[in-house]
Amino acid sequence: MRSIGVIGLGQMGVSIARRLIAAGYPLTVYNRTKNKADSLLQMGASWADSPGELVEKVDVTITIVSDNQAIEKLALDEGGFLNSLTPAKILIEMSTLTPATVRKLFSKIREKEAGMLHCPILGGPLDVYGGRATICAGGPKSVYTSVSSILEDISSTVHYVGEITKATVMKLSLNIMLTHYFLGVASSLSMAKAAKLPPYLIHDILTRIAEPVVQKLGDKILNQEESITFTLNNFEKDQRYFLEAAAELGVHLPTNEAVQKLALEALDKGMGNLDFSSLAALLLKEEATD
Ligand SMILES: NC(=O)c1ccc[n+]([C@@H]2O[C@H](COP(=O)([O-])OP(=O)(O)OC[C@H]3O[C@@H](n4cnc5c(N)ncnc54)[C@H](OP(=O)(O)O)[C@@H]3O)[C@@H](O)[C@H]2O)c1
């Protein structure tokens, strides 16, 4: 069994490390704040004093830290992991990052002739702990093939999507939807609460309709279906009514303000009698300016 290292023991890193220990891998860990490793060391993990020392000790290194700045610091600072990477080593970067940072890191790691994948995760620490997260994997196919069993030990759902930044963007793209979901649920429940409506009933109805709505709208957009079920004129009217009712109840709906702005843009372009799903075309710059 190959030895693995985990750099970054926040919410996600600890869950990943626990799964790897449970799967029987010899594990070494490093974190800027050492005491976050305590429970893992008690479970049998070893400690490395720096990211560089960790990479020297293991075959495969997983990094999962906050952001672009954190990963660059851990790679490049004194004791950083970049200088310890050699051709036999593989880095699996799992943080949510931008394509520019992933590209930069990938090019530096290629100079060392080491292998690298970007494998950001969809799902929180409890999903990881339960093996239910979704991993988007990008990078050279041969590198992916050599570590796919490790990724599958972290989560049963792993999608290999091709070149390295494809996975970076796939994760960001999926998270956009989740962000809207979150704000959507928060907005609906805030308005329900302000109007003294039964919040759990609203929550139940939203839960029941969420999956079929996502499926139906996704199908409509992907298949460019032109059938009209709800016009943009009516869609814009609804946005206005949400905002008017919310103002009366003292609820702030910033995302619906942005949606109304987009709907008005569509009406200005003469799209009022088209189906509301044609708003998707406005998001694709090239199509919108055609
Ligand atoms: N939590 C989630 O639900 C979730 C879900 C999907 C994806 N993600 C992504 O996964 C990554 C990790 O998230 P998390 O929730 O585990 O974050 P977290 O709990 O806030 O942990 C952040 C980790 O990054 C380290 N770090 C931050 N800045 C650093 C720096 N300048 N130098 C060295 N280390 C630094 C922290 O070290 P210290 O312990 O020393 O502060 C810690 O290990 C993020 O990119 C996040 O967007 C998170």
User: Which tens digits make up the pLDDT trace of 175-224?
Assistant: 999 999 999 999 999 999 999 999 999 999 999 999 999 999 999 989 88
Going by pLDDT thresholds of 50, 70 and 90, the confidence category of residue 284 is confident
Give the whole-number percent of the chain exceeding pLDDT 90: 93
* Spatial contact of 232 and 276, defined as CB atoms under 8 Å apart: yes
12 CA to middle of ligand 1, Å?
Answer: 7
Say whether pLDDT at 25 is over 50.
Answer: yes
Q: How far apart are CA 29 and CA 11, in angstroms?
A: 14
**pLDDT mean across residues, the chain:** 96
Which pLDDT belongs to residue 163?
Answer: 98
Q: Whose CA is nearest to atom 3 of ligand 1?
A: 124
Which residue type occupies 271? M
Which pLDDT belongs to residue 226?
Answer: 81
Q: Whose CA is nearest to atom 47 of ligand 1?
A: 96
172 CA to middle of ligand 1, Å?
Answer: 16
126 CA to middle of ligand 1, Å?
Answer: 15
Nearest residue to 172 via CA among 129, 219, 238, 120: 120
Nearest residue to 87 via CA among 109, 62, 117: 109
Say whether pLDDT at 287 is over 90.
Answer: no
Q: Whose CA is nearest to atom 18 of ligand 1?
A: 10
Residue 54 φ/ψ, nearest 5 degrees: -60, -50
Say whether pLDDT at 288 is over 70.
Answer: no
Which residue type occupies 22? A
Say whether pLDDT at 19 is over 80.
Answer: yes
Q: Is 258 left (phi over 0), alpha (psi -120 to 50) or beta?
A: alpha
* Spatial contact of 91 and 110, defined as CB atoms under 8 Å apart: no
Going by pLDDT thresholds of 50, 70 and 90, the confidence category of residue 132 is very high
Which pLDDT belongs to residue 224?
Answer: 84
Q: Whose CA is nearest to atom 42 of ligand 1?
A: 10
What are 75-131's pLDDT values in tens digits? 999 999 999 999 999 999 999 999 999 999 999 999 999 999 999 999 999 999 999
Which pLDDT belongs to residue 34?
Answer: 98
Going by pLDDT thresholds of 50, 70 and 90, the confidence category of residue 289 is very low
Residues with CB under 6 A from ligand 1: 8-13, 31-33, 36, 64-66, 69-70, 73-74, 95-96, 121, 124-125
Give the whole-number percent of the chain exceeding pLDDT 70: 98
65 CA to middle of ligand 1, Å?
Answer: 4
Q: How far apart are CA 219 and CA 90, in angstroms?
A: 38
3-state SS, residue 118: strand
Q: Which atom of ligand 1 is nearest to the CA of 67?
A: 45
Q: Whose CA is nearest to atom 37 of ligand 1?
A: 32
Q: Whose CA is nearest to atom 30 of ligand 1?
A: 70
Residue to mutate (ligand 1; options 7, 14, 34, 65; most atoms within 8 A of CB): 65
Q: What is the mean pLDDT of residues 33-48?
A: 98
Complete DSSP assignment for 1-33:
---EEEE--SHHHHHHHHHHHHTT--EEEE-SS
Which pLDDT belongs to residue 290?
Answer: 38
What are 221-250's pLDDT values in tens digits? 898 888 899 999 999 999 999 999 999 999
